[in-house]
Amino acid sequence: MRRILFFLLLVPCTLLHAYDVEVDGIYYNVIGTTFAIVTHGGPFDGIEPSYTGDVVVPEQFKHNGNTYRVITVGNNAFAGCEELTSVQLPPTVHGVGACAFLGCLNLRQVSFSADVVAYGSCAFTGCLSLQEIELPRQPERIDTLMLYCCAALSTMVLPHRVRTVCQGALEHLPSMRHLYCYASEPPVAEEGAFARRDQRRCTLHVPREALQKYRESPVWKDFYRIVVLTDEDYQAQNYRRGDLNDDGKVDAEDLALLQRIVVSLPDDAAVRWAADLNGDGKINAQDYVILSKQMPQ
């Protein structure tokens, strides 16, 4: 699956292909008789957009006796659809192609699966009405120009696995007031990653144990106000005490992981927060006892 996604996201966003199938108002290119990619319904000319209003992409559809699973949003799939207001993607979608939502001027909401592993460059460039976006936790990079010129974007969350913020990825976001970064190590910020933003009006929220690192790191240190993430911040992003492996469950695997962590503390701030069951800032036998009591009998 990841090999397929990697290949698809390598294709430049300037390449466009006619769709193979249209089902219930959504256009697809198909791969063999199994997989499908959401695509654009016609040439990207800004005159006859394929999609308007609220769009819900299904997990699968049937065509000519075959059942196709929708696995990615293709390059330019929704580009230029100025009257598109929201898109809900199914859990089967694991990738968002280059320029996928380019120039969707009235797009206000995009709902992702937690399993999205890759985004293409310029994925949300010019989405002027997008005020908030919650990225899944899997991707390790915010790609080039990914959210460039999202003028209304006021809040942004960088999950704990992010390692790189690419050139221009978060450039020209004049409304940005809060940036939440859960990474234990300040991600590498390429040249121009945060260009044309008001440093005095944007607060950077970071893990407690990494506060000094952010204050001393290139680019990150330029934020006027850097504060510590609170318990409420972690909970708001569905981080959960006891869920050490971040799989949405608290079970024996977490207990085994905690047993190792008590001996050797992890570098990942999100894991450390989840392991601190009693919230006292320490990870020790008391936390192990608390988690043990939560195990199914």
pLDDT per position as a tens digit, 123-180: 999 999 998 888 887 788 999 999 999 999 999 899 888 999 999 999 999 999 999 9
pLDDT(8) > 80? no
Percent over 90 (pLDDT), the chain? 52
Class of domain 2-236: alpha beta
Q: Encode pLDDT of 221-248 as tens digits.
A: 989 899 999 999 988 888 888 888 888 8
What rounded mean pLDDT belongs to the chain? 86
Whether residue 260 has pLDDT greater than 80: yes
Please give the pLDDT value at position 244: 84
For the question of whether the overall pTM of this predicted structure is more than 0.75, the answer is yes
Q: Identify whether the C-beta of residue 98 lies closer than 8 Å to the C-beta of residue 75.
A: yes
pLDDT band at 56 (very low <50, low <70, confident <90, very high): very high
Tell me which residue of 179, 170, 169 sits closest to 121, measured CA to CA.
169
pLDDT the model gives residue 200:
75
Q: In this structure, are strands 60-63 and 66-73 parallel, antiparallel, or unpaired? A: antiparallel
CB 95 within 8 A of CB 4: no
pLDDT at 2 over 80: no
- For residue 4, the Cα-to-chain-centroid distance in whole angstroms is 19
Of 48-52, 82-86, 189-193, 270-274, give the range with the top mean pLDDT: 82-86
Task: List pLDDT tens digits, range 44-55.
Answer: 544 456 899 999
What pLDDT does residue 11 have? Answer: 43
d(CA 99, CA 276): 40
- Return d(Cα 102, Cα 114) in angstroms, integer: 22
Contact between residue 261 and residue 271 where contact means Cβ atoms under 8 Å apart: yes
Q: pLDDT tens digits for 88-121?
A: 999 999 999 999 999 999 999 998 887 788 888 9
Q: What is the pLDDT of residue 15?
A: 44
With vertex at residue 117, the alpha carbon angle to CA 113 and CA 122, rounded to the nearest 5 degrees, is 95
CA distance 199 to 219: 11
| 153: nearest Cα among 181, 182, 133 | 133
Give the pLDDT band (50/70/90) at residue 270. confident
Task: Render 67-106 in DSSP notation, one character per residue.
Answer: EEEEEEEPTTTTTT-TTEEEEE--TT--EE-TTTTTT-TT
State the pLDDT confidence band at 263, using cuts at 50, 70 and 90.
confident
- Using pLDDT thresholds of 50, 70 and 90, give the confidence band for residue 297: low
Tokens encoding 74: 């293709």
Distance CA(25)–CA(70), nearest Å, equals 14
Largest distance between two CA atoms of the chain: 64
Report angle CA 195, 198, 204 to the nearest 5 degrees: 90
Give Cα 96 distance to the centre of its chain.
Answer: 10
What are the residue boundaries of the structural domains of the chain, listed by start? 2-236, 252-293
* pLDDT score, position 1: 45
Is the model's pLDDT at 14 over the cut of 50?
no
Predicted pLDDT of residue 4: 39
DSSP string, 183-230: -SSPPEE-TTTT-S--TTT-EEEE-GGGHHHHHHSTTGGG-SEEEEPP
